[in-house]
Amino acid sequence: MYKTVVFDLDGTLLDTLEDLYLSVNHALAAYGLPVRSRDEVRLATGNGIVLLIKRSVPADCPDELREKVFKTFKEHYGAHSMDHTAPYAGMPELVAALREAGAHVAVVSNKADFAVQTIIRATFPDAFDCVMGENEAAGIPKKPARPMVDAALAAMGGRSGAVAYVGDSEVDVATAANADCDCVACSWGFRGREALVEAGATIIVDTPSELQRVLMA
């Protein structure tokens, strides 16, 4: 059994896509820009909200306008991040089972830290030993660089034995490799099995119950 498990957030623990999609399109429409499909927003996620907006605005969008779109997105998402967001069925029980068995569990996400803290408090209250969102202003590079994972492990007392990193995207596969963690990839998230295979994932699970068997074996 893994004694330390680090989870991605969007597409792994929580289905956040609808709220992200609505906030992106609210911000785009506010400035008369073309809106994006759910699939376009889904594929633009994974590297934080700055890149989400950069990928969502037109390629020739002036920097000043992109900053306005970003500000409007942050305001709207801050107010509406929990309208449709919910844990994937079985994930709260899985996290609880890991902690009951003595594992340390953490969340490490490229989502803005203010949103990560708010959403985790609402959906997984007191469930994790460490919760970290993007905080490059503090000098911690976001995933797939390893410092966020290292910081989470340090906050939980350091690395002890094999660490499992659980995620749903190519960013998470690379993060696990960079942080010297075993990667368990979830096919139910924002990318799907084919993209995970292409990214180099070797352990892919299709359900939370299968994930629990892998983590607690």
* Collapsed DSSP state (helix, strand, coil) of residue 140: strand
The answer to whether 14 and 128 have CB atoms below 8 angstroms apart is no
DSSP 8-state symbol, 184: E
Q: Please, which residues bridge with residue 205 across strands?
A: 186
Q: Confirm whether 168 is a catalytic residue.
A: no
For residues 135 and 113, give the distance between their C-alpha atoms in angstroms, rounded to a whole number. Answer: 6
The answer to whether 182 and 163 have CB atoms below 8 angstroms apart is yes
Which pairs count as long-range contacts for 50-55, CB under 8 Å and 24+ apart, including other chains? 52/20, 52/24, 53/24, 53/27
Q: Which residues of 41-78 are buried (b: 16+ CB within 10 A; e: fewer)?
A: bbebbbbbbbebbbbbbeeebeeeebebbbebbbebbe
The alpha-helical segments, DSSP class H, found in the chain are 17-30, 38-44, 49-56, 63-80, 91-100, 113-123, 147-155, 170-178, 193-199, 208-215
Catalytic site residue from 8, 15, 168, 172: 8
β 14-15/86-87 pair status:
antiparallel
Give me the active site residues, please: 8
